[in-house]
Amino acid sequence: MRTLYWSSTCANCNQGRLLFQNDITNARVYVHCEECEWGWLHPEGLGDVAQGFLTLLSDYETTDPTLEEIERSEWRGHIAGSFEET
């Protein structure tokens, strides 16, 4: 069971939720879309598809961040909700 936190609806596909991920290679938290895999590094860019990137092309290790890790990042205050996934 994992708890996933999300930020908002994706501006690229307008369907998926933007799930928080921990990029442990570069030590940063970002969001990526559960539907189209588009991602954003910074909360200011969320409404702008051009500021995003295709997360599938990135070469780094990721984990699911804890609520505390998100709160410690620049994404603090951008958490819309969470859900459990088995």
Footprint on this chain of Zn ion (rule: CB under 5 A): 10, 12-13, 16, 33, 35-36, 38
> Cβ closer to Zn ion: 10 or 19?
10
Q: Which two tokens stand for residue 62?
A: 């990721």
* Cβ-based neighbours of 13, under 8 Å, separated by 6 or more: 33, 35, 36, 38
CB of 16 to Zn ion, least distance (A): 4
> Cβ closer to Zn ion: 31 or 70?
31
CB of 86 to Zn ion, least distance (A): 23
